[in-house]
Structures are given as structure tokens and as C-alpha cells.
Amino acid sequence: MKKTQRIPQAPIEHMPELAELLSQFQVHFIRRKNRHAAERYLTGLLTEHPNMNCDTLATVVPHTNEQSLQGLLTTLAWDENALN
């Protein structure tokens, strides 16, 4: 298994490897803003930031905010079986 490499700071541009992974799940994120929130949230999780919550990730990940990250986790309807 390939070890995930942490990045020191969240990049402004999308990470090609992450975009490739997320392309498999695009059908589950119908709205563009939800796809964007998922990409930004996962980008934040890959950083070296010690606090991995929506509030702090929104401060270190460009082009996002706490509301969109929190919405991704709390209000977006998930179909776990389809995602798995």
C-alpha cells in the first residue's frame, strides 16, 4: 500500500492525483459546489495542519470556507452503499 504523503500547505490548484481519485465519485456529487467542497476538504486533510476540523481547514485551504466544508459533512445526502 502506498503511504499518503502530507503536504505542508494546501495548494490553490487542484492536485492531479486527488482529482483522478475524485473523478470516480463525481456521479455522486451532482452539484459542482459539492464536488468542489469535497475536493477542498480532502485537500485539507492531506495537509500537515494539526487540527482537522472544518473551521481550521477553511483557514488553510484556499478557495473554500467553513460553511461549505461543514455542509459537505452535515447536510449533503450520502448514499454510503453507492459510494462503497
The answer as to whether 66 is a domain residue is: yes
Q: Quickly state the pLDDT bin for 51 (edges 50, 70, 90).
A: confident
Q: Quickly state the pLDDT bin for 42 (edges 50, 70, 90).
A: very high
Q: What is the per-residue pLDDT for 10?
A: 81
Range of the domain at 72: 32-76
b/e burial code for range 2-25 (CB count within 10 A of at least 16 → b): eeeeeeeebeeeebeeeeeebeee
**Whether the predicted pLDDT of 65 surpasses 90:** yes
The answer as to whether 58 is a domain residue is: yes
Q: Mean pLDDT, the chain, as a whole number?
A: 85
The answer as to whether 41 is a domain residue is: yes
Split into its structural domains, the chain has a count of: 1
The answer as to whether 70 is a domain residue is: yes
Whether pTM > 0.85 for this model: the answer is no
The answer as to whether 22 is a domain residue is: no
Helix H or strand E encompassing 80:
helix 80-83
The answer as to whether 81 is a domain residue is: no
The answer as to whether 82 is a domain residue is: no
The answer as to whether 43 is a domain residue is: yes
